[in-house]
Chains A and B, each alone.
Chain A
Amino acid sequence: MKLLYFPGCTLKTSAKNLEKSAFAIMEKLGHELKEMDDWTCCGVVSSLSDDDLMRHLAPLRSLIHVEDEGEDKVVTLCDMCCNTLKQTNLRVKEKSDDLETLNAFMDRENDYKGTVTVYHFLEFLRDEVGFATLKKMVKNPLKGIKIMPYYGCMMLRPREVAIDDAEEPKILSDLLSVLGAEVIDNPFKIECCGSYHTIENKKIVSNRAHRITNYALERGSDAIMLSCPLCRFNLDVRGKEAEKLFKAYKQIPVYYYTQLIAIALGLDPTVCGFDEHAVDPSLLLKKKGVYKK
């Protein structure tokens, strides 16, 4: 199956490893991710004021380009892109007046017909590939590794665009079980990582990273698995900085789910780009004997 892919800005800069590992998994699964010919920044945060239609333009333009390529599905890797594209898609499908205004404004684009469905890559793995199929393909089970799944906000809220239950999600823990890891539950798994405060309020974000991770540590977790590039940065980098704020606190490695799938499927670890993380994620895998090179 060929699937159209919307990358977004971060996947091309600070989260190249998320993209690379996802492409490698898709190839292994016998599917193909095809990057859109023409995409722009999604705007990252969806407009929350009712009168502000302008902020729906960027995501809508990319949705139009999906239709231009003759597709009705588009998949994203970034949680924030997924959320923004889904919210705009929902708004224009529900409010035809808004769609009319936006279509009229973009005179160089074709009109959006509303045929596109936006998917998170995790949704594709769960609903189209199926975790059972994935399980059959696991070569290096992540045996003996205790991992806390971390969801953050954007894949769960608001509920209209969520890919799982907002309070008790299980998509990541199900995935971890399939990969052979031991799942460590944590009530902070659905709490915000600090988001964009990482620019101006580093300390708040370090505190958040500490709170989220420390609970996992107390429950014996070896690592964290997540999906969003900003959550990765905050838990990994700001979490590492939290070592200076909290005595005896030691940051644990943070993985993208795509990296762990790649390792479990026995793919070349270089597709994971582990060197882009603050806490080296390869050490734990080597220690547990699943990192084969």
Chain B
Amino acid sequence: MPRKKLPKNKEISKIVFKKGDLAKEVEELSGENLFGCYQCGTCSAGCPYVEDMDLTPDEVIRYIVLDRPEVLNCKTIWLCSACFTCAERCPRDINITKIMEACRQIVLRKKIDRTQAQKIPKKEREAIPQIAFVSLFRKNIG
């Protein structure tokens, strides 16, 4: 698999794993078996955000399995809005949504937030439904 150029976040790049620990940690957080994935790409085919992603969801799994922590720098894990389409369709019954969440959690639990709440303009804060804010903060702030 050719290496893709992923955005580099200084903080995220500092997170170090011992050999094999990345996959172990993702599996522990998600409760899913990453090694069950046979890379069919069904998750990516159905993902509504795939065209904006730098890695497709199946690539994210492959990166983790191959022990490449640079995967935590990708945009994909933050674009996933947990719509569960991939989880519903996976022929190996892997809940990819939970894997994306595990990747986000690894970053967030190092106190690296994705969203700066105070940067959201006041006008937006008044117009957008509250459920959007609570979801965003739960997904992007540790």
Contacts and interface: CB of A to CB of B under 8 A. Distances in A.
Interface of A: 8-10, 13-15, 41, 43-45, 48-52, 55, 78, 80, 153, 157-159, 166-167, 190-192, 194-200, 204, 208, 229-230, 233, 237
B59 interface: no
Given A78-B131, A229-B129, A230-B129, A195 B83 contact: yes
B49 to A, nearest CB: 7
A44 B52 contact: no
Interface stretch (B7-15, B16-24, B61-69, B96-104): B96-104
Contacts of A157: 83-85, 87-88
Main secondary structure of the interface of A (DSSP, over half): loop
Given A15-B129, A157-B85, A166-B88, A51 B134 contact: no
Nearest to B133: A199
Contact of A49 (B30, B132, B135): B30
6 contacts: A14-B130, A48-B97, A51-B29, A198-B128, A200-B115, A200-B136
Contact of B81 (A15, A51, A196, A237): A196
A192 B130 contact: no
Contacts of B44: none
Nearest first, the 5 closest Cβ-Cβ pairs linking A and B are A157-B84, A48-B101, A192-B83, A196-B135, A195-B81
Interface of B: 28-31, 48-49, 52, 79, 81-85, 87-88, 95, 97-98, 101-102, 105, 115, 120, 124, 127-136, 138-139
A205 B18 CA distance: 38
Given A45-B82, A157-B87, A158-B84, A13 B130 contact: yes
Contact of A44 (B29, B105, B124, B135): B135
B101 A10 contact: no
Contacts of B131: 8-10, 44, 78, 80, 196, 229-230
B132 A45 contact: no
A55 B82 CA distance: 16
Contacts of B124: 199
Contacts of B29: 49-51
A220 B30 CA distance: 43
A153 B131 CA distance: 14
A10 B134 CA distance: 11
Nearest to B109: A49
B135 to A, nearest CB: 4
A43 B138 contact: yes
B114 to A, nearest CB: 9
B49 A204 contact: yes
A9 B135 CA distance: 12
Contacts of A52: 105
A229 to B, nearest CB: 5
A237 B127 contact: yes
B132 A199 contact: yes
A153 B101 contact: no
Contact of B138 (A51, A55, A167): A55
Contacts of B98: 48-50
Given A153-B84, A157-B84, A192-B85, A198 B101 contact: no
Given A158-B88, A199-B128, A204-B52, A153 B133 contact: no
